[in-house]
Amino acid sequence: MRTDTSPIPALNPELAGRVAVVTGAAQGMGAVFMEELARRDIHVVGGDLDGDRMAAVAEKVEGVGMRMDVTDPADHDALLARALDAYGRVDFWINNAGVFPQAEFTEIPPDQLTSTYQVNVNGVAYGGQTAARHMRDHGGGVIVNMASVAGVRVRVTRAAYNSSKAAVRHLTSCMAVELGPYGIRVNAIAPGFIDTEMTRWVQEDPVALERALTTVPLRRIGAPVEVFGALYFLLSDSARYVTGAVLPVDGGSQHV
Ligand SMILES: NC(=O)c1ccc[n+]([C@@H]2O[C@H](COP(=O)([O-])OP(=O)(O)OC[C@H]3O[C@@H](n4cnc5c(N)ncnc54)[C@H](O)[C@@H]3O)[C@@H](O)[C@H]2O)c1
C-alpha cells in the first residue's frame, strides 16, 4: 500500500490567529507542521539547529524561523521572545526536535546516551518549562511532545532512543498533572514509521522495509501530514478536555 499524502480535512476555524512554536521545524514532520498550521491561518515560529534550512521553511510559510539548540534552555527563551516579538502571544508549543542514533546495546558510546537524552528528553523539558512559564501567566495553552512507538515497543540497536522516548511519555504525564491547574494541556503523539529523513535508510533498503512493514498492521508507511492530523486535534478546542494523553499515530504498530 502506498503512503497517503492527501490533505487532512479537519476544520477548526477557532484556531485561526493563534500562535504556534515548533522545534525541529527545518525538515521532516516539523516542517510539515509549520506548513499545515500556516495553511490554517495559525502564526508559526520554528526553531532548529539548521538555521539556513529553518529560514527557508519560515519564508515559505510566511512565518518566523530561528536557529536554536533545544539542549540549551536559553535558546528556548530566545525562541519564545522571537514569537512574542512577532505575534505578541504563544498559544501552542510543539516539542518536536529529536535524534535517532543507532548502536548495539553493548557498543553504545557514553556520548550517544548523553546527547540523545539531551535532545530528546531535556529538550522537551526545557521547551515545556519555557512554554509553561509564559502560558501560566497568560491564561493557558497547549503543549505537544513528540514521543514514539519506540517508547513502548523495542526497536533493536536503538536503546538510547527507545528509552528517551519512554521518558518523553512519562514526562508528558508529569507536565500534564503539574500544569493542568494553570489551564495548560500537555499531550504527546507517538508516531510509528513515518516518511521523513529519519527513516530514509529503511525505505531505501527493500529487505529492511519489508521487515519493518510486518510490524505495521496497516502495512504502509505513514505520511507526516497524517501525524499533523493528530496534532491538529490535540491543539484544537475539540480536545479541550484531553490532557496527559499519548496518541499513537502508527498504523497499529504499538500492538505488534
Ligand atoms: N520519522 C519517524 O518515523 C518518527 C517516528 C516516531 C517519532 N518520531 C519523532 O518525531 C520527531 C520529528 O521526527 P522527523 O522524522 O521529522 O525527524 P527529522 O530528522 O526529519 O527532523 C528532526 C529535526 O530536528 C532538528 N534537531 C535535531 N537536534 C536538534 C537540536 N538539538 N536543536 C534543534 N533542532 C534539532 C534537526 O535539525 C531536524 O531538522 C522526532 O522527535 C522523532 O524522534 C519520528
Place of cell 525541529: 24
Per-residue confidence (pLDDT) for residue 209, from 0 to 100: 94
**Residue 254 near ligand 1, beta carbon < 6 Å:** no
Is-contact 123 52, C-beta < 8 A? no
Distance 195 CA to ligand 1 centre (A): 12
CATH 3.40.50.1110 is right for the domain spanning 16-247: no
CA distances 145 to 89, 121, 205, Å, are: 20, 10, 29
pLDDT digits (tens, 9 = 90+) for 64-108: 999 999 999 999 999 999 999 999 999 999 999 999 999 999 999
Residue 10 has pLDDT above 90, yes or no: no
Task: For residue 246, list its beta bridge partners.
Answer: 188
Q: Report the interhelical angle of 28-39 vs 51-60 (nearest 10°).
A: 20
Q: Which of 3, 21, 29 to mutate to test the pocket of ligand 1 (most atoms within 8 A of CB)?
A: 29
3-state secondary structure 175-204: HHHHHHHHCEEEEEEEECCECCHHHHHHHC
Q: pLDDT grade, residue 8 (50/70/90)?
A: confident
Cell numbers that stand for 115 in this block: 546527547
Nearest to 175 by CA among 245, 247, 90: 245
Place of cell 523495542: 154
Is-contact 44 32, C-beta < 8 A? no
List of E strands, the chain:
19-23, 43-48, 64-67, 92-95, 141-146, 184-191, 246-249
pLDDT digits (tens, 9 = 90+) for 219-247: 999 999 999 999 999 999 999 999 999 99
Q: Is the dihedral of CA 245, 167, 198, 126 positive or negative?
A: positive
Residue owning the nearest CA to atom 7 of ligand 1: 148
Q: pLDDT grade, residue 2 (50/70/90)?
A: confident
Element (H, E) at 78: helix 73-87
Q: How many Å apart are CA 80 and CA 45, to the nearest integer?
A: 9
pLDDT digits (tens, 9 = 90+) for 12-49: 999 999 999 999 999 999 999 999 999 999 999 999 99
pTM, full prediction: 0.98
**Residue 71 near ligand 1, beta carbon < 6 Å:** yes
Nearest to 240 by CA among 8, 41, 14, 7: 14
Residue owning the nearest CA to atom 14 of ligand 1: 28
What is the number of other CB atoms lying within 10 angstroms of the CB of residue 154? 10
Q: Which residues are catalytic?
A: 161
Nearest to 215 by CA among 187, 176, 251, 183: 251
Per-residue confidence (pLDDT) for residue 1, from 0 to 100: 65
Task: For residue 142, list its beta bridge partners.
Answer: 92, 185
Residue owning the nearest CA to atom 19 of ligand 1: 198
pLDDT digits (tens, 9 = 90+) for 171-181: 999 999 999 99
**Residue 164 near ligand 1, beta carbon < 6 Å:** no
Per-residue confidence (pLDDT) for residue 3, from 0 to 100: 85
Q: Where are the domains of the chain?
A: 16-247
Per-residue confidence (pLDDT) for residue 32, from 0 to 100: 98
Element (H, E) at 62: none
pLDDT digits (tens, 9 = 90+) for 204-224: 999 999 999 999 999 999 999
Distance 30 CA to ligand 1 centre (A): 7
| Burial class of 111 by CB neighbour count within 10 A (0 to 12, 13 to 18, 19+) | exposed
Distance 181 CA to ligand 1 centre (A): 30
Q: How many Å apart are CA 35 and CA 139, to the nearest integer?
A: 26
Mean pLDDT taken over the chain? 97
Ligand 1 atom with least separation from CA of 150: 6
**Residue 186 near ligand 1, beta carbon < 6 Å:** no
Distance 51 CA to ligand 1 centre (A): 15
Q: pLDDT grade, residue 193 (50/70/90)?
A: very high
